[in-house]
Amino acid sequence: MNKKIAVVGMGQGGMVAAIKLAQAGAQVTVYERDLEGKVGYPWRDDITASVFKDCNLPFPDKDVYVQKATWVFVSPDEKGTLRVPQLLPFVEISPNRQKLSQYFANLATEAGAVIKYGENIQKLVIENDRVVGIETKDGIEKYDLVIDATGMYSKLREQLPEKYCVQKTPSNQDTMYAYRAFYEKNEGTETFLPDVSNTMILRHMDNDGIGWCNLNEEGKVDVLLCNISRPFTDEEIEERLADLRAMNPILSEKLIYSRKVPLSVRASIATPVADGYVALGDSAFMTIPIMGSGIEAGMHGAATFADYVIAKDIQDFTAENMWPFYVEYFEKFGKGFALLDIVRRHALRFKAKYINWALSGKFVTDDTLKFIMLTKEDPRKPKYKPFMFSAILWKLIFYPSFMCTILRMAGEGIHAMSVASHIPSKYSEKKITKWAKKYDNLIAKCEAKAEKRKK
C-alpha cells in the first residue's frame, strides 16, 4: 500500500492503525500534541491481556505491566461488599500508560512510521467535501487519509461536512467526569479490607458515579472520583475525599498529583467515516460504555479498520470504500456496546437502596460472582448449586420495583442492540442518515425517560 496517511493523536487507537498500515507499506506520519516521553496518563489502567494477540501485536515487555489488582465493590451505604474474583494470573493486566505509549511508538517506528511530537493539529484541509490533509506547524501537509485519534472531544471531527452525518460533539450525558489523584499513604494503616487492595464504591455519596481509594504497587494511594454529566467543583472533591478518608484510613492529606479528565461512556459513534477521513478510538466513542474502558476497545476498532483496508487493498479512502469496516466493527463490538450503553444509563441511576440491598448478601454473593466469572479450568470456581439463579429471580419477586427497573433496562438494552445490528451493510448517505437518527434517538430517549423518572 503506497499511500500517504496521517495519524493525529498517539493514543493506542491511532497507534494500532499506524503500526499495521506502516507494516503494509503505507507512508505513515503520526502527529502528537505532547512531547516525547510525556505521552499517556501517568498511572496504570486495566485491560485484558489477550487484546495484543487479537490485534496481532507482540506482547509488551514485563516492565510495561503488572497483574491486575484485587477489587471489591462497596454499596453506597458502605456496609455491603461484593468481591470481584481475580481471573487466572495475567489474564487481566494493568499497563503503565506512559510505558504502553512508548511500546506503541517503538513498534510504529520499527514499521517505518515517522512520529512528530509537539504537534497540536487543529485544522483539517477540506477540498470539494473531501479531507485532503491537515495544517501543521510547517504549513499544509497533503494526505490520502487522515486518521483522527485525538479523543472524544476531537476538534477535527467537528470540521467535517454535514453530509457525512458524523456526530460533532458528545453530549454531557455521554461523558464521565473523572478526578484522579495520588496521595501518600498514612503510615501504619491498612486498607478497608486488608486482603483486597482496590475498593470501588458504587453511587458514591449518592452521585451518579463511583469513587475508589486504592493502594497501588508503589505504596501510593490512587483515588478516582467520577460523575456523569457535570464536572467537579473543588468543594465537591473535598467533600468526597473526606468521605473516602473516613472509610479508608490509608488516604492521607498529602497530595502527590491530581488531574481532572473526561471519559467517553457512550455507545460507538453512528458513523466515523468521510472521504479521506476516519475517526478511531475515543474519537469514534469506541469505549466499553459501562466504565469508559477504551484502551482495548480502541485497539480492537483500529485493528478492524487497518486489517480491512489492507485485506481489500483500498487505494481510494472514500467513506463508501471504508464503511464495511464499521459494519464488521458493529457486528463484533458495536452492537454489544449499544446494549451496555443503555445498561449504564439505567444502572448509574439505580436508587442507592437497591444497590445497598443487592450487595448486602441477600441477592448476589461472592460465590455467585465466582461462578459467573471464573472459567471451568479454574479450581476456585464453585460447584453449581441447584436453584443458584432461580433463587435470584425469586428474591427479585419480593422487590417488585427493582424487578421492574431491571426488566425495563433489559428490554431497552436488547432493543438498542437490535437497532445497532441493523446498521446499513452498504454505504448510502440516505440510509445511513436514517439509521443514525434511529440509533442516536435510542440514547436520547433513554436519557429523557430516565430523567423524567428521577423527577
Ligand X SMILES: Cc1cc2nc3c(=O)[nH]c(=O)nc-3n(C[C@H](O)[C@H](O)[C@H](O)COP(=O)(O)OP(=O)(O)OC[C@H]3O[C@@H](n4cnc5c(N)ncnc54)[C@H](O)[C@@H]3O)c2cc1C
Q: Which residues are at the interface with ligand X (CB under 6 A)?
A: 8-14, 31-34, 39, 45-47, 119-122, 149-151, 155, 178, 180, 224, 261, 263, 281-282, 287, 292-296, 298
Helix or strand or coil: residue 135?
strand
Grid look-up 440491598 returns 357
What strands, in cross-sheet order, belong to the sheet with 27-32?
114-117, 27-32, 4-8, 145-148, 277-279, 273-274
Total length of the chain: 455
Considering the complex, state which of residue 61 and residue 135 has its C-beta at the smaller distance from ligand X.
135
Report the distance separating Cα 304 and Cα 281, nearest Å: 11
Backbone phi and psi for residue 426, each to the nearest 5 degrees, phi listed first: -115, 150
Smallest gap from Cβ 46 to ligand X, in A, equals 4
Considering the complex, state which of residue 115 and residue 423 has its C-beta at the smaller distance from ligand X.
115
Half-sphere exposure of 413 (CA within 13 A, CB side): 20
And the C-alpha cell for 252? Answer: 492521607
Smallest gap from Cβ 159 to ligand X, in A, equals 12
Considering the complex, state which of residue 262 and residue 413 has its C-beta at the smaller distance from ligand X.
262
Considering the complex, state which of residue 221 and residue 295 has its C-beta at the smaller distance from ligand X.
295
- Amino acid at site 194: P
Q: 367: which residues sit within 8 A by CB, 6+ positions away?
A: 382
Smallest gap from Cβ 404 to ligand X, in A, equals 32
Half-sphere exposure of 418 (CA within 13 A, CB side): 6
Could you tell me which of 429, 160, 122 has the C-alpha nearest to residue 277? 160
Do 276 and 145 meet the contact criterion of CB atoms below 8 Å apart? yes
First to last CA, the chain: 56
Smallest gap from Cβ 145 to ligand X, in A, equals 16
Report the distance separating Cα 273 and Cα 446, nearest Å: 26
Considering the complex, state which of residue 230 and residue 453 has its C-beta at the smaller distance from ligand X.
230
Do 184 and 57 meet the contact criterion of CB atoms below 8 Å apart? no
Distances in Å between the alpha carbon of 369 and those of 85, 376, 381, 407?
A: 7, 14, 10, 20
Considering the complex, state which of residue 333 and residue 363 has its C-beta at the smaller distance from ligand X.
333
Smallest gap from Cβ 394 to ligand X, in A, equals 35
Tell me, rounded to whole angstroms, the distance of Cα 172 from its chain centroid.
16
Considering the complex, state which of residue 13 and residue 211 has its C-beta at the smaller distance from ligand X.
13
Helix or strand or coil: residue 291?
coil
Strand partners, 198: 71
Considering the complex, state which of residue 220 and residue 450 has its C-beta at the smaller distance from ligand X.
220
Considering the complex, state which of residue 119 and residue 412 has its C-beta at the smaller distance from ligand X.
119
